[in-house]
Amino acid sequence: MTKPFTIAVTDERLAAIQAKVAAFDWEALPDAGGWRSGVGLDDLRRLVHYWQTRYDWRAQERRLNALPQFTTEVSGQRLHFVRARGDGSRPPLLLLHGWPGSFIEFEALVAPLVADGHDVVVPSLPGYAFSGRPASPIGPRRTAELMHGLMGELFGELPYLIQGGDWGAAIGAWMAHDRPEAVAALHLNMVLIQAGDALPKKPAELAWAARRAKLAKEETGYSQEQGTRPQTLGVAMSDSPVGVAAWILEKFGAWADVPHDEQGRPDLWQAFDEDTLLTNIMLYLVEGSFVTSTWMYRGRVLEGSGQFPPGGRVTVPTGVAAFSDPVFPPPPRSLVAKTYDVVHWTDMAAGGHFAALEQPELLLADMRRFFADQAERESGGKSRSVLATLGAAAAGLAASALYTRASVERIERQVPADGTIVDVPGARVHYVDRGAGRPIVLLHGLGAQLRNFAYGVADALAADHRVILMDRPGSGYSTPTGDQPGILEQAAIVTAFIGALGLDRPLLVGHSLGGAIALGVATHHPDAIGGLALLAPLTQPAGAMPAPIAGAIRHGGAAREAFAELLGTPLAQATFGLRWGKIFAPEAVPADFATRGGAALGNRPMSVNAAMLDMASVDRDMAAIASRYGSIEMPVAMLYGREDQVVDPTVDGAHARSAIAGASLEMTEGGHMLPVTHPQVSAAFIRTCASRDPRSAS
């Protein structure tokens, strides 16, 4: 029976741990050679000093208790777990940690995944933290059955998703192998288990196998000890908190993706802070679970579950985030594909063994892309029967309308309006006005909102300029007063907005589609602005959709709005991760982009309607705008990311530079979402453009 759980370690237990830490005899511990011989004593001393002087378990306990925690019993095994409830629009998601980690590894991922609609479950593995001690050692295959039992207790026969690394990857793999009907998709940031007949043959596979064998000789002594003699190790560790800290800290230093100095010392403080490391260590101490946490290694030996039997295959769709683990390097995709149905593979830019702690944003973005792709494939691959009756159709539409209404209310609670409303011809414009000095107006891109500039661009510019962030009509909290305006009509609304605020020819900044609108102001209302600073701008007709379809969307306002009201929000939320993942690629979507970046507002019907009209009008209006580039006399500067996968700078940037007299084109590192992923570079570019206005000196 599932029961709520609150962490409440007794004062006596905490005092006993601290007393043993204080009693540790450092003088009896000679240095065998720093990190090349095990844990570095200087780093261990630093951690223990913090433990004794600054670490506050009660503060960490309060923070962890903010997570909804429970316990239950599955097949006689007590399990502790976090369960955070989403809105049910996405499948349940099981997040599985490994050794020497804990459930806190996923703390930063829970809220954004819940916001995506998942029910998120994060258990402590048997024998870890607050899950009970197994009666005897069990390995990943038996643990997989327990985890499946937990998900069955919580969700019945509803298929679920899995993400795992380290032991979590092995357990998740066995769940997918043994229960393929229950697992909708499997996401791994390590690949530990393969079939007995999945042998390396290609040059890259053989090179990996040779490297892995070399690393195994150097780095897996701990695994041999825990897999063969965990009881002896347990006796040594059970009464030494500093010993447990050293055993665990050594793995965080050796396995993380951090730089090393000439003596082999890892800069582990670059990836982890003392509070995170000590809270994880304390979860092995407060219940005395360090000993039983090592039993998983012994259980693997006893079960023979270190690999699938020859011929064994994981048929569940599998995604792999291949992080650069220095001790467990990812196998080549070709080798993994001999065992798994690999449909998604990402070579990650940074991060090591503890991916969820080291690079939570990158891991989250990859999970979102993979799970969204699977949802899209499933919905597209299943034949949909025609509804038997008009009554069933009406019920479906009513349910969609109710879902949309509830979603909009939730989104607007999460992302409230930030600024002020001003009425201009064609729209009620929501804007934020900050700072003082020469004015700069910022326009966001497609399906976005003014908060796209909240990652540092607005803050940096407001130090010495008056900065006005504007929601385009139909986006954020700006509403059109008539039909949704197209690109050129929005350019007229921007011009009216500048006039309503009494701005004296401001610098107009446009990102992406906002750049197209800014160019429309420059070509059709040139007296309103003093110059353009364009970030990844669309400058040419994009070929977004066939002309007949575009025309039907532009002229079919009632049908477009009805579609947006009934289906826009469910579809937008279902594809949120996939859409933004592709827009940000190859960079990661920030974990807080839905709220801090305002992107969740783009899932509302009004915003879906606006995005449809934007895409339907862009080719027609951009042709009219581009035909007037030769008339632009104001300063125009463009900045693109070299890895932009949305707008091609060699097409849009180069053509605009050649057509606009004096226009400049700059390149920087990054993809399409420069204001979010490279805010300081973006702000510096904009400030340079503003400084070219001779009035800036006055």
- CA–CA separation, 173 vs 170, rounded Å? 5
Cβ-based neighbours of 191, under 8 Å, separated by 6 or more: 169, 173, 320, 330, 331, 336, 340
| Domains of the chain and any CATH numbers | 3-200+304-376 (3.40.50.1820), 414-697 (3.40.50.1820)
- CA–CA separation, 451 vs 63, rounded Å? 28
SS3 label, residue 130:
coil
Burial degree of 310 (CB within 10 A; 0-12, 13-18, 19+): exposed
* Cross-strand partners of 431: 420, 470
Residue listed under structure tokens 């001999």: 338
pTM for this entry: 0.58
Cα 465 to the chain's mean position, in Å?
32
User: Which amino acid, one-letter code, is at 318?
Assistant: T
- CA–CA separation, 297 vs 143, rounded Å? 12
- CA–CA separation, 38 vs 60, rounded Å? 28
CA quadruple 436, 441, 446, 448: dihedral, nearest 10? 20
- CA–CA separation, 535 vs 442, rounded Å? 10
Asked if residues 101 and 48 have their Cβ atoms less than 8 Å apart, the reply is no
Per-residue pLDDT at 384:
38
Per-residue pLDDT at 547:
62
CA quadruple 685, 589, 573, 603: dihedral, nearest 10? -20
- CA–CA separation, 246 vs 323, rounded Å? 25
Residue 640: what are its φ and ψ, rounded to 5°? -125, 150
Cβ-based neighbours of 465, under 8 Å, separated by 6 or more: 435, 436, 437, 438, 439, 440, 687, 690
Taking each helix axis as running N to C, give the angle between helix 107-115 and helix 360-381, from 0 to 180 degrees, rounded to the nearest 10: 30
Three-class HEC string of 427-494 = EEEEEEEECCCCEEEEECCCCCCHHHHCCCHHHHHHCCCEEEEECCCCCCCCEECCCCCCHHHHHHHH
Cα 492 to the chain's mean position, in Å?
37
Per-residue pLDDT at 558:
75
Phi-psi region of 89 (alpha: psi -120 to 50; beta: other; left: phi over 0): alpha
Q: How would you classify the pairing of strands 531-535 and 664-668?
A: unpaired
Residues in the chain predicted with pLDDT less than 50, given as ranges, are 381-397, 697-698
Asked if residues 189 and 126 have their Cβ atoms less than 8 Å apart, the reply is no
Residue 156: which H helix or E strand, with range? none
Longest CA–CA span in the chain (Å) reads 83
The edge-to-edge listing of strands for the beta sheet with 69-74 is 3-5, 69-74, 77-84, 120-123, 93-96, 160-164, 183-188, 314-322, 340-347
Per-residue pLDDT at 656:
93
Taking each helix axis as running N to C, give the angle between helix 11-23 and helix 241-255, from 0 to 180 degrees, rounded to the nearest 10: 80
User: Which amino acid, one-letter code, is at 36?
Assistant: R
Q: How would you classify the pairing of strands 340-347 and 420-424?
A: unpaired
